[in-house]
Structure 1
Amino acid sequence: MALFRNIFYLILPVILALNAEATTTVDPNLRVDCAPRPGDHKSDCEHRGCIWDDNYDQYRPTTPLCYFPTATGYTVKSEADSKLTLAKYTTGAKNPYGTDFDELELSYKSIGKAIKVSISPKPSYKVPKRSDSFGLNASHFKSIPFAIPFRFIPPVPVDESQIQSDDQLAFTYKNDTVFSFAVQRHDFSKYTTWTMLSYDHHTDAVNPNGLNYYGVHPFYMALEPSGKAHGVLIFNSNAQEVTTGPGPHLTYRTIGGQLDIYFFPGPTPEQVLQQYQQLLGKPYLPAYWALNWGGFPAYVDQLHNQGMRLILLFDPAVEVDDGPFQRGIEQIAFDGIWIDMNEPSNFGTNEDHPDYASFIDHPYVEPLKCPTAGDDAYLEMPPYITNGLYERETQYLCSKTLCMVGKTGRDTYNFYDTRNLYGWSETVATSEALKRSTGKRGAVISRSTFVGSGRHGGHWLGDNTATWEDLKAAIIGVQEFNLFGIPYVGADVCGFMGATTEELCIRWQQLGAFHSFYRNHNDINMPPQDPANWPSVAAVTKAANLFRYQILPYFYSLHFRASLLGGSVVRPVYYEFPMDFETHTLSHQFMLGPAIMVVPVTSPNVDSVRGYLPGGVTWYSITQAHQYGGSIIPRQKPAVTTTLSRKNPFELLVALNNVGEAQGELFWDDGESVVDKIETYNYLRFQFSVKANEQSINLDITCTVNCQLIGQNKMTLPTLDTIEILGYGYPTRYMTSGMAYDADKQIFRVDSPGFLNFNKNGPAWKIVLNKKPEPAANPTETLPTKTPSNGLSRISISWQIMLIAISFAVSPILCRKS
């Protein structure tokens, strides 16, 4: 039936060119599996016209024994404008699980800086996401130079020979590194299948098996040794999987739906992500308070009185007219919504003896039964149900969820087609409901996600385990979900399942402080693991949170920039240093924006960690991390809540580069208003620039967006009280009151209450710190301020002697790597 037609093999940056005539053997590193379903035998293989390899290689046990001959699939028949007609090879192998079309039509067009490739005849189902959910309009459709499909032109050329067999795409790569299919970094040294099916299954970092868990993101980024990157999105919402092989190549399979393929040319990794988000929508902006330390008890009134916030958790099965639910909504003033179990999960489906039947504290509920015979049975038991379900030892697609014959979209679609969309759809509705019900931005966190979910909410990585392997998996997971366009993401620190240890909890608290979503969560049956359970964990957690809360202006600015311009918050090191080949394999250290390098401890019983600092730049050791020379981090003195922290004076942590310069920025708003249109939204953007030499330090601060809000008293800001400059290597004896210099650490510091008032004399300020050969006669002289007619405030200061304590949260040591 038509449901199981439409598999297409597309060859991308080509190593393997398929011949016009079938051959009896194919290099074991380049084979495309003709029998991915467990249990197929030699007779099944040969009946399809595929090749069976009797010579099992014990050194390559994952190599397919049954594989397609080379003259299989489709070749170009004709070309006109932006369309190609593909004709099926008449001598090729049969489709293992259905029938092939005699001809296919392939069309392509530019969408912004992306290329969209569509394959027809189109099936009856396509992903039901409106064009406005992609954030596209006419201005995005502009012609740009790019590789035309089926031509050998970089950066993503496509081979002229094609294979077609039901719901399958094969990509062959010159690169040896691919990131982010199925929420994993993938090793091409062996054949491995990675599933993409939303499923309620906790992560298993100790014994990874290729299974994904709660969401589906059929998008990957490929990075070449040269540092150039490109991305590919296969836009499909059915059950699907990808097999990576040592060619290197990968094979993509889906059991239904339309195949729309988007190519993103980059060439930098961050540009690939921005192009991807230009198509799908830029990330939503969480409320400022959502960057707090989460997981407090629901003492709602007390929390709100203390400036804290409350997030409520909902499962999809809760009835909207249920009495307790209604009373809770009416009586509890919530600030955010957590949506869980939205794969959607349903226990016991098609099971005769579900596990919950033995739970004495739960009433027995008859399990859901889905059709396994009759006209609708094919939806539960298609010819191929994907490796994700075979590995879970089930024969039904409805396992642990709803029936595939169920209807969604007001009786428009089968659940067979839209299952992977449930979490995305609920996130969209929940985000809108939260804004309407509270009148504020709040925070939405979803367990199940799909392509484009980041435009409406965030994600936590799900039910992890208290192991060091899971800590390392969290590092990779947060980076990957940033690549998927979901920067508001984090893991359950200390681990959810299993008994954690004091040391593991210490290291995880330190790590979690650098993730956007940050909470400690524990299984009800496990020993306590809140920070106060161990004095050492409490002390480390306090220090980590003080550092986190101090850099909240920087952290929030990263999210604001991503929501405005696209991009990531937590990112792999190769995003910032794509030309440095050593960064391509760094999985367990990462960047927080462009300025902070984090090298977490990922092993027990160690008191030091080995990391890699890219050469050619200056790095500074700050508490918990390293700062990139040439960056400026806006900070505030931390308080016990984000509400109180926002009221404290600003600080600037300036890290000079090799030529004595640094830049940074700050986005500022009220932290909670709904952002309908960024063009009319009330926010401020400041640019910082420092140039330092032996004679002076020049700091330029410029308000670049909505500066009139300050003069109209529609937005007020704390004062700038502290400026700390790292790497200033020119010793000085003479300083003005409120300044200090540490010659050993090469830190110059200005610390003066009310030093710069952003609410006066803007929109630009220039601070010049000049050396004097002799101390001034009056060491307590007032700092002169002049306001030129062009609106530029200028503060010129002569240095005089005074000693100041170094900031408690920064202990810089100059690190240089040649």
Structure 2
Amino acid sequence: MILFKYFPLLSLALALPVHFDGSVESNGSTISSTSTSPAAQFTLPNDLTIGVKQVPNIYNESAIDANQAAPGYDLLNISLSDSGLSGLLKLRGEPKNIYGYDFDLLNLTVSYQSDERLNVHIEPVNMTDVFVLPDFIVTRPEVESLDLDSDLLFTYQAKQFGFSIVRKSTGESLFSTIGNPLVYENQFIQFNTSLPKNHVLSGLGESIHGSLLTPGTNRTLFAEDIGDPIDGNIYGVHPVYFDQRYGSNTTHAVWWRTSAIQEILIRNQSLTWRALSGVVDLYFFSGPTPKVAIQQYVATVGLPALQPYWSLGYHQCRWGYNSTERLQEVVQNFKDFDIPLETIWSDIDYMDSLKDFTTDPYRFPLDKFQRFLNELHNNDQHYVPIVDAAIYVPNPHNATEANYSSYVNGAKLNTFLRNPDNTTYIGAVWPGYTVFPDFFAENAQTYWTGEISKWHKDVSFDGLWMDMDEVSSFCVGSCGTGMIDKNPIAPNFAVGSPAGSYPVGFNVSNSTDYEIFSESLASVSSAAIASAEASAGTTLSSTAVATSSSTSIDAKNTLMPGKGNINYPPYAINNVQGDHDLATHAVSPNATHQNGFIEYDVHNLYGHMQTNSTYNAILDTNPGKRPFLIVRSTFPGSGKRVGHWGGDNTADFAYMYFSIPQAFAIGSFGIPFFGVDVCGFNGNTDMELCSRWMQLGSFFPFYRNHNYLGAIDQEPYVWEAVTSATKTSMAIRYLLLPYYYTLLHESHTTGLPFLRQFQWEFPEDSFYAGIDNQFFVGDSLLVTPVLEPNVSTVKGVFPGANESDVYYDFYTHEKQNFTNHKNHTLEAPLGHIPLHIRGGSILPTQEPGYTVAESRNNSFGLIVALGLDGSASGNLYLDDGESLKVSEATFVDFVAENNTLTAAPRGNYAIEQALANITILGVDSEPSTVLFGNSSAKFQYTNSTVFITGLEELTGDGAFADQFVVSW
């Protein structure tokens, strides 16, 4: 049932529109965000948001097939070097200029860089107007040694140039362009590689999709601000794929080191890769296992940051926490319901008229806000606010706006993006017409650090959440030029969830609530829509969209020399926005950076560059401590500094399912600290979905509940059933915090993802390829979530069961009689998520507390799950949980065999908490005695499990102060 004590019914059903002054309407009353807003404000004109309608090349039946039309190149002047070879590629015959002007001469360089990495680099001889990804953004790998034993072999065909990468140990062709011409034009690069039948490819993100790149997949790599469309291009760009070959039981990876706009087509036996600028800079990683291939790639782009220990706690957010009192209420509610809360977050509600680095003086008065933050910190809890990428431009006719220092300071330092004519580029985001920091600018770091540091003195945040950093703009082009006297302006779309949006199955699993809400929605939805329309200045049912009557594609998408046709390239990618224009809902491609770069070449880097500057700024505010930073737009190497959330998902079971393959992909890209908006962001969740999702989310590294303005409240205490389910799964999560933190450290040092696919763990068994409805947490925990409504069971498979592996029920400790390759039906009533421990594992635990700090002060435990051979192993890593440069750390290695458990610590971090208990699963017969060292220990035996207790007395100096041996 819904606990209406805290959440009046009708206010939940109504969308809460943002007023022109940034205030929010709640229950019919307006809470003013400022007393200085103009009396009249404007809505962004709708026609400024509509781009030129593009016909994506892949859907254009009249489009030229570059493979058929291109002349290709011949390889000349081949020269061998100590690390590989080089040569000159000469265009064959006359230029065809298909989607750009052909380059006549190209340089080829092939480098064997290490035992596991090979580089193929192709670039024009004349590099004028050719963009190359700078080393300072993503380090360009170099030759590590000339004494190599590589399993990769480069072979080539000189006439009609093509090349192959062959695995020497198996003779298998891993990548081959032979038989297809290389296309290299000023705005179009294309190559093709053959693939084996029934290929198993993954990667090429970011996208909402299953984990495998199945035949027929078309992938666009262009960073976009859009609400998680299935198969569309979204926030991040990661041009790397992993090719798993079951015939040879090998996996390799291919990375194109480029920030260019890209498109990849996957077919039954081919992969076509296109880019609209840049150079060919391909890196091949030999693997040979999936996990090793991932590690090789991640180590090359940058090993992940070690997140602070507290980040593993539970995070609560929503768009709509619109006052200090509301934040206090939510924090108190969590305490009253005894649901652990580590961090409370703010969406844009806290801002003064939606401007970065401000706080609303009425809803978040600084004195009250600061008292709230001090109390939060005194309780070992944390606060994280959102920061957008755009900076409001003050209205020159409004004297009260002139002191908006974040704009004034940036303008003085010349740190905002420019138009080609060197005027300031002015787009539109939440507060109105805005400018965009140019993170390539000379003074960008000084500016950004200054704004964040100054703001931190007022608002003592513990981390930052970077949004809209693709970079997003609500209009096409520099729409605010000559228009800033209209500021502040409102977006031209309705803000707030549709009143009647609920998940699949809501009317069945929430039947009583469904009847109540249906009656209420019928009476209020019309008013809600009208209110939202008034706020947006448009009519929802007749919002103008680009149609075929828009400017002709033929008139815009023409060939041009030099950099080419920047805004309308001759080759139109399948950009996810409705009109497919590159400038729709994004800064225009012709926006110019201070160093001469154009947005066309570096658009996919904006979020990554802002990430780097923000990371450095946070370090400046809190030197020596690990910055906590969650961002939306990512790029290869972003994981060195940040975590990522899955963006604007929807409250539905489909998006709960897609969170799993999204986590696999993001983890393989080197960003293991990942999570999605639990219970869903867009639309209204319900009791069943939120119950299931709160439990699933507890096994992701980043665990946050967040939803949209105007949707019903979805904190876990809203429903009794969700409260119960949440407490169950949170208790497990907090119990396993030492294991989770050890996994974070493993990711930090090796590049291994936190959540793992079956096909990574069992790479020789094709039966488990592409399974996205189950996953391992590390190597040891197998999670089988319910991902559909109105069921009380779930099917799951258990790799290697009773052949190479054994599994134990986490809750009962009982050994399971599973069979390899068989679907097993598991009981999964609401409030229960099936969880199994993989035999051969040893998991460190700690008694859960309300906060992470409280948990860290509690006693330790161990769960020993013996494998089929009676052995198990595991490890523990601990440090102070916050230092950027760790000087004190302790590792503990655990090994169980022959009825003996050994714990061997090494390191200098003092672990003062005692060891309370050890649970040993899979012991076939009751032991007569259990010894901890030479001392007898208390124990119980049930369900083939030995439960050893009372160890505090034997570990008073700390659980792992010394090596110990337990025998049974």
TM-score in same-fold range (> 0.5): yes
SS in structure 2 of the partner of residue 68 of structure 1 = helix
| Deviation readout 1:404-450 (Å, 9 max, x if unpaired) | 22223x32311111110011111111122212212321411100001
Give 1:259 deviation, angstroms. Answer: 1.7
2:363 paired residue number:
none
- Matched AA of 2:374: D
Match status 1:148 vs 2:153 = yes
Match status 1:181 vs 2:204 = yes
Map 1:632-781 → 2, pairs under 5 A:
632-675=842-885, 681-692=887-898, 697-704=899-906, 707=907, 709=908, 715-732=910-927, 739-743=938-942, 745-757=943-955, 759=957, 764-770=962-968
Whole-Å Cα distance in 2 between the matches of residues 483 and 442 of structure 1? 22
Map 1:253-264 → 2, pairs under 5 A:
253-264=274-285
Q: Percent identity?
A: 29
Give me the CA root mean square deviation. 3.2
Identify if the C-alpha distance between structure 1 residues 321 and 760 changes in structure 2 by more than 3 Å, giving closer, same or farther: same
Task: Say whether the 8 Å CA contact 1:215–1:420 is kept in structure 2.
Answer: yes
Task: Say whether the 8 Å CA contact 2:223–2:234 is kept in structure 1.
Answer: yes
| Deviation readout 1:277-308 (Å, 9 max, x if unpaired) | 22111000110000110016363122211111
Whole-Å Cα distance in 2 between the matches of residues 109 and 760 of structure 1? 52
SS in structure 2 of the partner of residue 532 of structure 1 = coil
Whole-Å Cα distance in 1 between the matches of residues 930 and 298 of structure 2? 49
1:37 paired residue number:
57
- Matched AA of 1:334: F
Count of aligned pairs: 685
Identify if the C-alpha distance between structure 1 residues 631 and 357 changes in structure 2 by more than 3 Å, giving closer, same or farther: closer
Whole-Å Cα distance in 2 between the matches of residues 329 and 731 of structure 1? 59
| Deviation readout 1:232-260 (Å, 9 max, x if unpaired) | 101111211111112x2111111101221
| Deviation readout 1:362-417 (Å, 9 max, x if unpaired) | 899xxxxxx9899999211121231115x62144x222122322223x32311111
Identify if the C-alpha distance between structure 1 residues 748 and 40 changes in structure 2 by more than 3 Å, giving closer, same or farther: closer
Note the residue ranges of structure 2 that are not aligned, 5 or more in a row.
1-54, 156-163, 318-326, 328-343, 345-371, 393-403, 408-450, 481-488, 495-533, 539-554, 812-833
1:788 paired residue number:
none
| Deviation readout 1:215-247 (Å, 9 max, x if unpaired) | 10011111112431111101111211111112x
Match status 1:163 vs 2:181 = yes
* Pairing partner for 1:313 from 382, 386, 404: 386
Whole-Å Cα distance in 1 between the matches of residues 651 and 808 of structure 2? 32
- Matched AA of 1:143: L
Give 1:149 deviation, angstroms. Answer: 1.9
Map 1:489-508 → 2, pairs under 5 A:
489-508=674-693
Identify if the C-alpha distance between structure 1 residues 311 and 425 changes in structure 2 by more than 3 Å, giving closer, same or farther: same
- Matched AA of 1:179: S
Whole-Å Cα distance in 2 between the matches of residues 260 and 280 of structure 1? 14
Match status 1:527 vs 2:712 = yes
Whole-Å Cα distance in 1 between the matches of residues 375 and 71 of structure 2? 68
Match status 1:415 vs 2:599 = yes
1:432 paired residue number:
616
Map 1:36-115 → 2, pairs under 5 A:
37=57, 40=60, 42=62, 45=64, 66=65, 68-69=67-68, 72-77=71-76, 79-81=78-80, 82-85=84-87, 87=89, 90=92, 94-112=96-114, 113-115=116-118
Give 1:92 deviation, angstroms. Answer: 9.3
Whole-Å Cα distance in 1 between the matches of residues 596 and 146 of structure 2? 30
Match status 1:242 vs 2:264 = yes
2:808 paired residue number:
620
SS in structure 1 of the partner of residue 923 of structure 2 = coil
SS in structure 2 of the partner of residue 219 of structure 1 = strand
Whole-Å Cα distance in 2 between the matches of residues 666 and 286 of structure 1? 16
- Matched AA of 1:749: F
Task: Say whether the 8 Å CA contact 1:105–1:121 is kept in structure 2.
Answer: yes
Give 1:180 deviation, angstroms. Answer: 1.3
* Pairing partner for 2:578 from 368, 386, 392: 392
Whole-Å Cα distance in 2 between the matches of residues 188 and 716 of structure 1? 46
| Deviation readout 1:715-742 (Å, 9 max, x if unpaired) | 3331211110000112235568753333
Whole-Å Cα distance in 2 between the matches of residues 575 and 145 of structure 1? 23
Note the residue ranges of structure 1 that are not aligned, 5 or more in a row.
1-34, 46-65, 365-370, 771-818
1:273 paired residue number:
294
Match status 1:172 vs 2:175 = no
* Pairing partner for 1:222 from 243, 248, 258: 243
Give 1:36 deviation, angstroms. Answer: 6.2
SS in structure 1 of the partner of residue 630 of structure 2 = strand
Whole-Å Cα distance in 2 between the matches of residues 481 and 511 of structure 1? 17
SS in structure 2 of the partner of residue 231 of structure 1 = strand
Identify if the C-alpha distance between structure 1 residues 128 and 497 changes in structure 2 by more than 3 Å, giving closer, same or farther: same
Whole-Å Cα distance in 2 between the matches of residues 78 and 135 of structure 1? 25
Give 1:86 deviation, angstroms. Answer: 6.0
Map 1:115-134 → 2, pairs under 5 A:
115-121=118-124, 123=127, 124-130=129-135, 133-134=138-139
Greater relative contact order (CA < 8 Å, ≥ 6 in sequence): 2
Give 1:263 deviation, angstroms. Answer: 0.5
Match status 1:213 vs 2:239 = no
Whole-Å Cα distance in 1 between the matches of residues 60 and 130 of structure 2? 29
TM-score in terms of structure 1 length:
0.78
1:332 paired residue number:
459
Whole-Å Cα distance in 1 between the matches of residues 689 and 308 of structure 2? 30
Task: Say whether the 8 Å CA contact 1:110–1:142 is kept in structure 2.
Answer: no
SS in structure 1 of the partner of residue 314 of structure 2 = coil
- Matched AA of 1:107: T
Identify if the C-alpha distance between structure 1 residues 135 and 651 changes in structure 2 by more than 3 Å, giving closer, same or farther: farther
Whole-Å Cα distance in 2 between the matches of residues 110 and 288 of structure 1? 39
Match status 1:547 vs 2:757 = no
| Deviation readout 1:115-171 (Å, 9 max, x if unpaired) | 111002264444544368549688678633132222563163545545122311212
Task: Say whether the 8 Å CA contact 1:71–1:91 is kept in structure 2.
Answer: no
1:629 paired residue number:
839
Whole-Å Cα distance in 1 between the matches of residues 177 and 588 of structure 2? 40
Whole-Å Cα distance in 1 between the matches of residues 258 and 633 of structure 2? 16
- Matched AA of 1:386: I
- Matched AA of 2:383: L
TM-score in terms of structure 2 length:
0.66
SS in structure 2 of the partner of residue 716 of structure 1 = coil
SS in structure 1 of the partner of residue 390 of structure 2 = coil
Give 1:102 deviation, angstroms. Answer: 3.5
SS in structure 2 of the partner of residue 218 of structure 1 = strand
2:491 paired residue number:
356
Whole-Å Cα distance in 2 between the matches of residues 756 and 138 of structure 1? 53
2:367 paired residue number:
none
1:443 paired residue number:
628
Identify if the C-alpha distance between structure 1 residues 99 and 663 changes in structure 2 by more than 3 Å, giving closer, same or farther: same
- Matched AA of 1:740: F
Match status 1:590 vs 2:775 = yes
Task: Say whether the 8 Å CA contact 1:479–1:571 is kept in structure 2.
Answer: yes
Whole-Å Cα distance in 2 between the matches of residues 642 and 508 of structure 1? 22
Task: Say whether the 8 Å CA contact 1:255–1:385 is kept in structure 2.
Answer: no
1:194 paired residue number:
219
Identify if the C-alpha distance between structure 1 residues 760 and 400 changes in structure 2 by more than 3 Å, giving closer, same or farther: closer
Give 1:325 deviation, angstroms. Answer: 8.0
Identify if the C-alpha distance between structure 1 residues 702 and 134 changes in structure 2 by more than 3 Å, giving closer, same or farther: farther
- Matched AA of 2:284: F
Identify if the C-alpha distance between structure 1 residues 91 and 373 changes in structure 2 by more than 3 Å, giving closer, same or farther: closer
Map 1:477-496 → 2, pairs under 5 A:
477-496=662-681
SS in structure 1 of the partner of residue 897 of structure 2 = strand
* Pairing partner for 1:342 from 469, 487, 493: 469
SS in structure 1 of the partner of residue 680 of structure 2 = coil
Give 1:761 deviation, angstroms. Answer: 11
